[in-house]
């Protein structure tokens, strides 16, 4: 898609952070924007700011962890604008801790938002887009953490983002096989200046029941502080929005907001480790074949 004017974008987690950055660029492109978010106050503020720029905005209070909320989001979009051309499954959360010490409530919350939120979005909107039979795009927000498991204390987050990457990859292949006009993209941001580290403000009360106090790990503290520091020095959400739209125009599948050599080397090292394990396992297979 090259021309976005008067087309419709649906963005979850759209009131702040990356979602807001994408919304800002969508408005500049002349799109009608459906902002979905779980924070009523932030949603109202985003609506006012965007409308003050002359944008057509539909705010929809949405909890992406609930299928019925996402279905209502889709229905309101179609009732208001008739079509949808860009879906950004972007809402996310990031509780942290040593993987096996995290509570079931931690796991359920992050899986419900980060992974099930994307599943609900794709299951709800793809049939609508297929019925429209026009050019559409879906951007699923994963992370560089979905391409390499490297951040200690972020195990739950990494699991969900690996899931989003895999889900997006297979959906792209399935849509291609069906000769669909829908294009899919995996947005894999590096560090971005967002409020995701303050995600506890949005934890549902029913998922606070079995939370235990985090065990103090002196080894983890400097790592987590370093991550927080990188976040403060991360890209601005508006730049991420610009990158997303330029990548859509060029039909790039993996959208990377950070192309530092550091990240390239980590992704490459992971791939090389997989291939080395492949060679070693092949030798085991040959050895067993000789014995038989």
- For 254-275, give one letter per residue: b (16+ CB within 10 A) or e: bbbbbeeeebeebbeeeeeeee
Angle (CA) 186-192-193 rounded to 5° is 145
Judge contact between 203 and 109, C-beta under 8 A: yes
CA torsion, points 62, 193, 6, 9, in degrees to nearest 10? -30
263 is catalytic: no
Tally of CA atoms within 13 A in the half-sphere of 195 that contains its CB: 16
H helix intervals, the chain: 17-28, 40-51, 67-81, 104-110, 116-132, 155-177, 220-232, 237-249, 261-291
Judge contact between 143 and 189, C-beta under 8 A: yes
Judge contact between 114 and 159, C-beta under 8 A: no
Q: Which one of the listed residues 157, 262, 263, 278 is annotated catalytic?
A: 157
- Is the alpha carbon torsion for 36, 42, 46, 48 positive or negative? positive
Catalytic amino acids? Answer: 157
């Amino acid at each position: 898609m090259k021309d976005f004017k008067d087309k419709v974008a649906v963005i979850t987690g759209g009131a702040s952070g990356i979602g807001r950055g994408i919304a800002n660029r969508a408005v500049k492109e002349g799109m009608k924007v459906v902002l979905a978010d779980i924070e009523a106050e932030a949603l109202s503020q985003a609506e006012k700011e965007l409308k003050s720029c002359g944008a057509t905005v539909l705010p929809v209070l949405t909890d992406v962890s609930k299928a019925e909320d996402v279905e209502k989001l889709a229905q309101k979009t179609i009732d208001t604008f008739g079509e949808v051309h860009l879906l950004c499954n972007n809402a996310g959360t990031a509780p942290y801790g040593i993987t096996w010490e995290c509570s079931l409530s931690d796991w359920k919350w992050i899986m419900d938002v980060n992974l099930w939120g994307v599943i609900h979005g794709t299951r709800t909107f793809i049939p609508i887009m297929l019925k429209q039979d026009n050019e559409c795009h879906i951007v699923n927000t994963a992370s560089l953490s979905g391409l390499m498991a490297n951040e200690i204390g972020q195990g739950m987050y990494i699991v969900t983002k690996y899931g989003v990457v895999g889900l997006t990859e297979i959906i792209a292949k399935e849509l291609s096989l069906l000769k669909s006009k829908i294009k899919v993209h995996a947005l894999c941001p590096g560090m971005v200046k967002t409020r995701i580290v303050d995600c506890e403000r949005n934890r549902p009360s029913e998922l606070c029941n079995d939370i235990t106090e985090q065990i103090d790990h002196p080894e983890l503290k400097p790592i987590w502080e370093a991550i927080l520091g990188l976040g403060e020095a991360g890209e601005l959400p508006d730049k991420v929005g610009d990158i997303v739209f330029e990548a859509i125009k060029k039909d790039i599948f993996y959208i990377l907001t950070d192309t530092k050599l550091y990240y390239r080397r980590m992704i490459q090292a992971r791939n090389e480790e997989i291939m080395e394990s492949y060679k070693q396992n092949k030798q085991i297979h040959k050895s067993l074949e000789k014995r038989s």
